[in-house]
Structure 1
Amino acid sequence: MTTFDLDSLKAGPKPTLTLSRRREPLAAAAYQLQVLHQLELSNLAHGADFDATIAEHGWSELSPAELEIFQINIGKLCNMTCQHCHVDSGPDRTKENMDREMIDLCLAALDKTNAHTVDLTGGAPELNPHFRYLVDECVKRGKHVIDRCNLTVLLLPGKTDLPEWFAERGVEIVCSLPHYRRMNTDKQRGKGTYEKSIEALEKLNAAGYGKGDPKRQLTLMSNPVGAFLSSGQAKLEQEWKDGLLKHQGVTFDRLITLNNMPISRYLEWLEKSDNLQGYMELLVNSFNPGTVAGLMCRNTISVSWDGSLYDCDFNQMLEMPVASKMHLRDFDPQKLAQRRIATDRHCFGCTAGAGSSCGGSIEEA
């Protein structure tokens, strides 16, 4: 696994502990769904029923499009415990880590698809002992590989060579950074996060990332720090580029913005800050029918650390499997193409405003 103490503050900021470690009721996916179902939203359109809402706009059911992205949640182990984390990842999540057998099953399943992109996420995917093997095997297959990186992991012992290693393989790095200013970043992800993130971005720049090279693409990902929707992605990108270059001397290629999903630790924050009712009303009232066609669940399959298949990473965390509860061992692209995508109230998070997906906003509202 790892040879250093992930629990230490030196390994990464930790403004909270995982729900799992604290044995909170919200650690259970079923309880999270129960909390969302108990909200009184009957006064909203269709009573906040997602399927009824999209049906009004011509979608009798949410069905898949062509599979383009093979997303693998390689584990919940992380060197940080951010307050908004929808995975409830942290240094204590050592059990939920994909083993070599499951990784080989991922590769076998990938070979049965025409997916052009492999999207690696976590936790901190780089902490999985088989991470480099998986990346190399995907690169050999000619796939575009995305690593969803928390930045601070690149400063850990045994990981400092990763910027150059990624550059040699043309891996796109998608980095979490709530804001280009220190205060908002540290507020969401813990004191010291911003400083470590800038140091990691400097290392990525030195390796050729963020310089306009399509083979060394550096993407920053921002989540709102609060109970509101993401702002206009295109407008923010230039603001971020100017701000980071002027104040920190670092560059990046593009910015993507994501709405926070009302699950796991962000759901906990919404409850404790008395924002849950208002936030869910905001999501439902901000439904944008123009986002439905581009939802990530339509062109993506999400694989859990244990090999179970889900329509998206959010459904995975809520333990809502694909229809027929398929596992990698029974991977069947044809059956997947004919499935109905599982939905619930949290799906309004992806259709609110400009929309939200692993690739950022879906359309400008």
Structure 2
Amino acid sequence: MADDRSYVHETHAEPTGFSRTLARHGLKLIRDNTHVLQINVGLLCNQACGHCHLNAGPAKTEVMTRQTADQIAAWAGRVSFETIDITGGAPEMNPDIAYILETFAALTPTLSLRSNLSALNSGGRSHLMDLLKRLKTTIVASLPAINESQTDAQRGDGIFKASIAALQRLNTLGYGQPGTGLQLNLVSNPTGAFMAADQAQTEKRFRQMLERKWGIAFNHLFSFSNVPLGRFRQWLERSGNLPAYMKKLADGFNPCAVDGVMCRTLVSVSWDGYLYDCDFNLARGLPMGRNRIHVTDMTGGPEPGTPIATADHCYTCTAGAGFT
């Protein structure tokens, strides 16, 4: 049976290869002005994907409460973030997701929801699509591949068809359509120990195939490599692929990508209200600046110029074109 240990709240540091790489290039990873608030509303998910860096799944009990959501909202109201990004797990499965969406939509010009699509279109949650439309929420939808067997192998039987049906429903509501202002963006990840394919070519292929086979339109596609944390790291270890995969990431280090990594302008807050430099550091248990700070301890935004906590999984965000 697969080991489903969580890396969350393990605060010890990994080997300092990434730090040494930064120093060799004369670089420091420090925080700029923070304009994106990413909120992880819990690890509960209808899937248990092999690439998940958070070990999210159906049996998880880490779920954000209304009290914590209100604490985060009070802080967000003081800081005025340009974008608030709701993620999980499958955020749709949080029992208070409608309340959370309504609350944070009032606090930002841009509200975003990260969806695995199947959770959005099942379990009596399809009404959420109407709410997302009313709030003009940007949807960032995960679709690993346009091959049914490949997607189902990573995410579970029937997930591909459920995802296609969700995309078609979103299109009928205006998402991904010209002139509606309803953004529908896709995210594609490799299904094995491989680096992400060229983003422009992947977007072109997805656009052509989704339109031709299912009449589906979308705005943009992002192609990212998988982060060696959580369930994906466990698979890499079991399959003997971890050393080679880490070498690929390290060999692909691009010093020009450091300036644009998301952690410089984003802060992540967990379901229990603690702050991290990004969702990957949340998964790794590395709190913001390596200091465990609760949102109720914050008066303003994170201070520009403060160091960002790093470990060797950070190579993922600086390999090739980077991960933003």
Q: Is the 8 A contact 1:119 1:145 kept in 2?
A: yes
Which amino acid in 2 is paired with 1:120?
A: I
Structure 1 CA distance for aligned equivalents of residues 3 and 294 of structure 2? 27
CA displacement at 1:31 relative to structure 2: 7.4
Structure 2 CA distance for aligned equivalents of residues 204 and 17 of structure 1? 35
Which amino acid in 2 is paired with 1:138?
A: F
Structure 2 CA distance for aligned equivalents of residues 122 and 292 of structure 1? 25
Partner of 2:174: 208
CA displacement at 1:17 relative to structure 2: 7.0
The unaligned stretches of length 5 or more in structure 2 are none
2:266 pairs with one of 275, 278, 300: 300
Partner of 2:120: 154
Partner of 2:206: 240
CA displacement at 1:191 relative to structure 2: 1.9
CA displacement at 1:288 relative to structure 2: 0.6
1:143 pairs with one of 105, 109, 115: 109
Which amino acid in 1 is paired with 2:251?
A: N
Matched, 1:54 2:26: no
Matched, 1:175 2:141: yes
Matched, 1:353 2:311: no
Partner of 2:6: 27
Change (3 A) 1:17 1:93: farther
Structure 2 CA distance for aligned equivalents of residues 241 and 192 of structure 1? 22
Structure 2 CA distance for aligned equivalents of residues 333 and 142 of structure 1? 16
Partner of 1:342: 309
Q: Is the 8 A contact 2:41 2:271 kept in 1?
A: yes
Change (3 A) 1:334 1:207: closer
Q: Is the 8 A contact 1:17 1:81 kept in 2?
A: no
CA displacement at 1:156 relative to structure 2: 2.0
Structure 1 CA distance for aligned equivalents of residues 126 and 9 of structure 2? 39
Aligned positions of 1:224-303 closer than 5 A: 224-303=190-269
CA displacement at 1:27 relative to structure 2: 2.7
Aligned residues: 323
Structure 2 CA distance for aligned equivalents of residues 29 and 138 of structure 1? 25
- Please provide the CA RMSD for this pair: 2.0
Q: How high is the TM-score relative to the length of structure 1? A: 0.84
Q: Is the 8 A contact 1:229 1:353 kept in 2?
A: no
Q: Is the 8 A contact 2:7 2:229 kept in 1?
A: no
Which structure would you say has the larger RCO, counting Cα contacts within 8 Å and 6 or more residues apart?
2
Change (3 A) 1:214 1:322: farther
Q: Is the 8 A contact 2:81 2:108 kept in 1?
A: no
State the Cα deviation string for residues 288-345 of structure 1 (Å, max 9, x = none).
1111001111000000000000000000011110133211110143653342100011
Change (3 A) 1:28 1:137: closer
Secondary structure, in 3 states, of the residue corresponding to 1:306? coil
Q: How high is the TM-score relative to the length of structure 2? A: 0.94
CA displacement at 1:256 relative to structure 2: 0.7
State the Cα deviation string for residues 10-50 of structure 1 (Å, max 9, x = none).
xxxxxx9781xxxxxx434577978x64xxxxxxxxxx721
Structure 1 CA distance for aligned equivalents of residues 316 and 83 of structure 2? 24
State the Cα deviation string for residues 249-295 of structure 1 (Å, max 9, x = none).
21111101111011110001111222111000100011011110011
Q: Is the 8 A contact 2:133 2:182 kept in 1?
A: yes
Change (3 A) 1:214 1:353: farther
Partner of 1:122: 88
Deviates more, 1:193-202 or 1:49-58: 49-58
Which amino acid in 1 is paired with 2:196?
A: S
The unaligned stretches of length 5 or more in structure 1 are 1-15, 20-25, 38-47, 358-365
